[in-house]
Amino acid sequence: MKVIVRVPPPLDKRHKSWRRDLTGIDSSKKDGYAFMSDHWLKSDRLEEEELGSYLLFYDEEGSQKNKEPIVRVMKVKIPPPNSSHAELEEVMRAEGWDWALELRGKVSALFFQPPEARDDHILIAISAMRKLVDEERSYVLEYLNQED
Going by C-beta distance under 8 Å and a sequence separation of 6 or more, which residues neighbour residue 26?
A: 33, 34, 35, 36
Provide DSSP, 29-85: --SGGGEE-S-EE-TTSEEEEETT-EEEEEEEEE-SSSEEEEEEEEEEEPPPTT-SS
pLDDT at 140: 74
Local confidence pLDDT in tens for the 148 residues of the chain:
889 999 999 999 999 999 999 999 998 999 999 999 999 999 999 999 998 899 999 999 999 999 999 999 999 998 888 888 889 999 999 999 999 999 999 999 888 766 555 555 666 667 777 777 777 777 777 777 876 5
Which pLDDT score is estimated for 116? 54
CA distance 61 to 12: 6
Query: By three-state DSSP, how is residue 95 classified?
Result: strand
Q: What is the pLDDT of residue 122?
A: 64
The dihedral formed by the CA atoms of 75, 79, 83 and 84, expressed in degrees to the nearest 10? 80
d(CA 17, CA 61): 9
